[in-house]
């Protein structure tokens, strides 16, 4: 069933999250601190039996110089060190997942793209494997990741993860075989939220694909969503009574509906109208505030899974169109 039956209201919803006055300086400081650490990207060829795709195990310095893992998948025979013109897709993973196995997610590389598939710090044990740890968080938390460091924006989990996501684009930019003018960011759910965050934090991304994006319009999402992960924050506030104002102030620094007003890359967003996890209104909150060219696909009868293969097909067409226009 439709989780928000008034579809016209949903489509016009602008969100209620308010950006803090120091949002820009907060992220400038955060990313400057990260940039002070050498990226130190390393690529090790993985021995597997794939014939059409080469896979590299990637490590790079993310937040605070901490090691982050990724896979780089490229069409077989690609010389990473030779100047080339490969378009690239940087993928971020949904909540609880990690980068998976080398043979997973061959869609982009088999379609002729370079594909950098970033691991998710501290996650990667719920539905796909991860290999990247996270630094310890002080303070009480609800099991999961949504309340780690939620009492201080400097310590909040998503400060670290979003910084990793921004740095992953630098990894792609450093590969000679990749055309630096044709790098897209993409993800589903948490990954879609990260793609939108990155689009608002750097101007050199060429395209954005955000599928059923998470991390948008926290004030509504936490109060209205009936399932986790947002419910982790609701459960925290049920115990920490009276802390809501402070918690939502922290979350405002990481709310993608506050970040996308600075985005400029063309964006493809998808929304599922029966999604109880990332409510359609909260997806539209980010979409309606997105400052770049944009288009949205609605999946009327789908839940959080979205359009799946049909979304991938639409995404290929979208990137072909965007990159051909450059």
Q: What is the 3-state secondary structure (H, E, C) of the chain?
A: CCCCCCHHHHHHCCCCCCCCCCHHHHHHHHHHHHHCCCCCCEEEECCCCCCCEEEEEEEEECHHHCEEEEEEEEECCCCCCCCCCEEEEEEECCCCCCCCCCCCCCHHHHCCCEEEEECCCCCCCCCCCCCCCCCCCCCCCCCCCCCCCCCCCCCCHHHHHHHHHHHHHHHHHCCCCEEEEEEEEEEECHHHHHHHHHHHHCCCCCEEEEECCCCCCHHHHHHHCCCCCHHHHHHHHHHCCCCHHHHHHHHCCCCHHHHHHHCCCCEEEEEECCCCCCCHHHHHHHHHHCCCCEEEEEECCCCCCCCCHHHHHHHHHHHHHHHHCC
Q: Are the CB atoms for 36 and 312 separated by under 8 Å?
A: no
Active-site residue, 275 included = yes
Among residues 189, 199, 216, 252, the one annotated as catalytic is 189
Active-site residue, 104 included = no
Q: Are the CB atoms for 117 and 186 separated by under 8 Å?
A: no
Among residues 110, 264, 304, 312, the one annotated as catalytic is 304
Active-site residue, 189 included = yes
Is 157 annotated in a binding site? The answer is no
Rounded Cα distance, 60 and 66, in Å:
8
Annotated binding-site residue numbers: 95
Q: Which residues are catalytic?
A: 189, 275, 304
């Amino acid at each position: 069933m439709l989780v928000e039956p008034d579809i016209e209201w949903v489509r016009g919803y602008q969100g209620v999250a308010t950006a803090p006055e120091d949002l820009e300086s907060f992220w400038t400081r955060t990313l400057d601190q990260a940039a002070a650490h050498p990226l130190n990207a390393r690529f090790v060829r993985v021995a597997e039996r794939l014939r059409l795709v080469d896979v590299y195990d990637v490590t790079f310095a993310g937040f605070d110089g901490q090691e982050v893992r990724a896979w780089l998948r490229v069409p077989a025979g690609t010389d990473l060190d030779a100047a080339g013109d490969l378009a690239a897709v940087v993928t971020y993973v949904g909540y609880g997942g990690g980068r998976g196995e080398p043979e997973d997610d061959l869609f982009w590389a088999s379609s002729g793209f370079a594909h950098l598939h970033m691991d998710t710090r501290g996650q990667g044990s719920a539905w796909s494997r991860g290999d990247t740890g996270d630094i310890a968080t002080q303070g009480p938390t609800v099991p999961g990741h949504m309340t780690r460091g939620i009492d201080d924006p400097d310590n909040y989990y998503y400060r670290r993860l979003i910084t990793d996501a921004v740095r992953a684009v630098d990894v792609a930019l450093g590969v000679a075989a990749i055309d630096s003018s044709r790098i897209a960011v993409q993800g589903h759910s948490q990954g879609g939220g990260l793609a939108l965050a990155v689009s608002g934090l750097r101007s050199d991304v060429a395209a954005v694909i955000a599928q059923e994006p998470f991390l948008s319009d926290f004030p509504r999402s936490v109060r209205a969503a009936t399932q986790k992960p947002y419910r982790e924050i609701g459960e925290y506030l049920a115990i920490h009574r009276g802390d809501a104002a402070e918690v939502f102030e922290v979350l405002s620094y990481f709310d993608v509906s506050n970040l996308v007003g600075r985005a400029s890359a063309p964006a493809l967003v998808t929304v599922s109208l029966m999604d109880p996890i990332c409510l359609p209104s909260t997806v539209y909150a980010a979409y309606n505030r997105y400052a770049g060219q944009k288009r949205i696909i609605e999946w009327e009868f789908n839940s959080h899974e979205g359009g799946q293969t049909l979304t991938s097909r639409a995404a290929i067409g979208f990137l072909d169109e965007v990159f051909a226009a450059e």
